[in-house]
Amino acid sequence: MVKRVLVINGPNLNMLGIREPKTYGTQTLAEIDAMCLAEGKRLKLQVECRQTNREGEICEWIQAAYGKKDGIVLNPAGYSHTSVAIRDAISAVGLPLIEVHLSNIHAREQFRHFSYVSAVATGVICGLGAAGYRLALEALAERLAA
Ligand code: CA2
């Protein structure tokens, strides 16, 4: 059975490649999505990519993934540092989830050092730019095959 993975990008990541290239790189979200789809093909994963600026929508997508997806890659963006609701949704579904950040959140402002998501994530990748998504898919593929 082909494993199904949902890639969720949170608020403001639709601005990638347009502003702040020093922090977030030059790739657009469309380019990152295309890379995730290509990587999915290579790893024989069925990958679907979505972006939203709304916290509740992230919770709804995580809940809807229960029984429909085998794993999640999530960049919660700014909600990483504020959202108990997203953390609770992740705990509620119990799916393997890799948290991804483009930038190294630990090398930035103090308020970015803590993520509510990290303690309930299967793993966390940060500071590796867009490659983080590729590595997250690889980690999920390995885990789901086991
Ligand atoms: O490094 C990451 O991937 C972050 O999740 C990105 C969030 C930030 O709040 C987190 O602390 C770390 C911000 C996403 C905003 O994306 C932009 C992209 C281009 C221009 C402006 C913002």
Amino acid 20: pLDDT: 85
Ligand 1 within 6 A of 20 CB? yes
> Full-prediction pTM beyond 0.95?
yes
Q: Which residues are CB-neighbours of 96 under 8 A, at least 6 positions away?
A: 70, 71, 72, 122, 140, 143, 144
Using an 8 Å Cβ cutoff, are 36 and 137 in contact?
yes
Residue 5: enclosing H or E segment and its boundaries?
strand 3-9
State the Cα–Cα distance between residues 97 and 41, nearest whole angstrom: 19
Amino acid 71: pLDDT: 98
User: Atom 4 (ligand 1): residue with closest C-alpha?
Assistant: 77
Task: Classify 116 as helix, strand or coil.
Answer: coil
* 78-113 pLDDT, tens digit each: 999 999 999 999 999 999 999 999 999 999 999 999
24 Cα: distance to centroid of ligand 1 (angstroms):
7
* 34-58 pLDDT, tens digit each: 999 999 999 999 999 999 999 999 9
